[in-house]
Amino acid sequence: MKDGRGNNLFAITIKNPWAYFILEGIKPVENRSWQCGFRGVLLIHASKQFDDDWQKGLGQEALHMARKKLAMLNIARSGHSPWVYSAVIGAVIITGSDQYYLSDWCQVGQNYIWFSNPIKFKNPIPCKGKQRIFHPEIELQQISTEDRISLNNLYDYSISLGLQSFEISDFKTTDSRFKEI
């Protein structure tokens, strides 16, 4: 799918609470077993699953930040959940990818995808996710006007940094083993 200005839209599926932490700006990196050659604007798709082991392997500072953010939500007291599942919930700019351990959010032995400028959509867009980077099956009209303006501003900033979204064969696949998540 393309946005209103002809840009291809790309997404990555991430389990909560990770997707939430990324869009709140406290988690600047995603850990993956594969290298990412993508740069530019990327939609964040919240998986249909929650990572129950999310605290495992986090550094002390990252764990403290995450727990503090969750406590601010008052999840236990309010009785409601902030988690949105199986939907595009925001966007980021991918600024780089490497294997160097630079953050408490990094897991040793993984490839790190570095994010900046997260925006959380006011209106999540339901759709199926996939493994790796993919083209989400959504229509431009599904993105609210307010969220579309934020997304266009993110594209403009990404282009000003020389990070116009582009495809690299590293993440394009027709392999049927990559199931929907």
Strand runs (DSSP E) across the chain, as ranges? 11-16, 29-32, 40-50, 87-98, 111-126, 133-134
Query: Could you tell me if residue 176 is inside a domain?
Result: no
Tokens of 159: 């282009």
| Mean pLDDT score of the chain | 82
Query: Could you tell me if residue 34 is inside a domain?
Result: yes
Distance in angstroms (rounded) separating the CA atoms of residues 179 and 171: 14
Query: Could you tell me if residue 137 is inside a domain?
Result: yes
Query: Could you tell me if residue 4 is inside a domain?
Result: no
* Whole-number pLDDT of residue 86: 95
Q: Mean pLDDT throughout 47-67?
A: 89
Q: Mean pLDDT throughout 164-171?
A: 46
Query: Could you tell me if residue 145 is inside a domain?
Result: yes
* Whole-number pLDDT of residue 83: 83
Q: Mean pLDDT throughout 61-74?
A: 84
* Whole-number pLDDT of residue 169: 38
Q: pLDDT (tens digit, 9 = 90+) per residue, 131-144?
A: 999 989 888 788 89
Q: Mean pLDDT throughout 94-119?
A: 89
pTM here?
0.82
Query: Could you tell me if residue 3 is inside a domain?
Result: no
DSSP 109-170: TSEEEEEEEEEEEEEEEE---BSSEE-----GGGS-HHHHHHHHHHHHHHHHTT------GG
Query: Could you tell me if residue 180 is inside a domain?
Result: no
Range of the domain at 134: 11-171
* Whole-number pLDDT of residue 5: 52
* Total domains, the chain: 1
Q: What's 129's domain CATH number?
A: 2.30.130.30
Query: Could you tell me if residue 87 is inside a domain?
Result: yes
